[in-house]
Amino acid sequence: MFAQAKKCKMANTIYIATSIDGYIARKDGTIDWLMDLPNPGNSDYGFSVFLDRIDGIIMGRKSFETVLAFAKWPYLRPVPVFVLSNTLLESPIGLPVQVEIVRGALNQILTALKNKGINNLYVDGGLTIQNFLKEDLIDEMVITRVPILLGSGVPLFGMNHLELVFEHVKTEVYNNLLVRSRYLRKR
């Protein structure tokens, strides 16, 4: 079974929320504007379904530190987390999942993860997403627009001189509030 997993094509997916002006966090990195959304049905808006199809999560140090500050670990399914960092030396103890600090070239990291049987990655964090896009390593984007203008903050897409074409797959509206669209990379 492990040998079969190594033959699978790797898929790297962005699953993220943005303000309607394209920011994923305030300038100071806070995401309080996401936490105050009305959710009378306590829906996860498809996040658990998404998590069921991934083998691992890769994120930057700042995003990892944000997740660590949450009152509860946000990933319901125990999948390994890989933190891109040149400054962290070891992962915190006592987390409900395996956390590994990784560094180096993204292609080399992805090859190492694929050799471990990790074929479907959830890519999270502003700079991490931008770096994956710069190297054309994103296969799918699921972007949820939240109806708020932040005016400034951490942009989802930074300056990028590549033209990457994606195909729109589906758009859904949740709670008459959130607009989630799914795109696949056309290659």
The CATH number covering residue 134 comes to 3.40.430.10
Q: What local confidence, expressed as pLDDT, does residue 58 receive? A: 97
Domain hosting residue 23, numbered range: 2-178
The answer to whether position 185 is within a domain reads no
The answer to whether position 165 is within a domain reads yes
| Domains identified in the chain, total number | 1
The answer to whether position 140 is within a domain reads yes
The answer to whether position 90 is within a domain reads yes
Q: What local confidence, expressed as pLDDT, does residue 7 receive? A: 41
Alpha-carbon span 43 to 24, nearest angstrom: 20
- Nearest partner of 140 among 123, 154, 152, judged by Cα: 123
pTM over 0.85: yes
Q: What local confidence, expressed as pLDDT, does residue 48 receive? A: 87
The answer to whether position 186 is within a domain reads no
The answer to whether position 183 is within a domain reads no
Residue identified by tokens 């292609």 is: 107
pLDDT in tens, the chain (187 residues): 233 333 456 799 999 999 999 999 999 999 999 988 888 888 888 888 899 999 999 999 999 999 888 888 888 778 899 999 988 888 777 777 888 999 999 999 999 999 999 999 999 999 999 999 999 999 999 999 999 999 999 999 987 778 899 999 999 999 889 999 999 999 8
Residue 18 Rama label (left phi>0; alpha psi -120 to 50; beta): beta
The DSSP output letter for 33 is: H
Residue 29 Rama label (left phi>0; alpha psi -120 to 50; beta): left
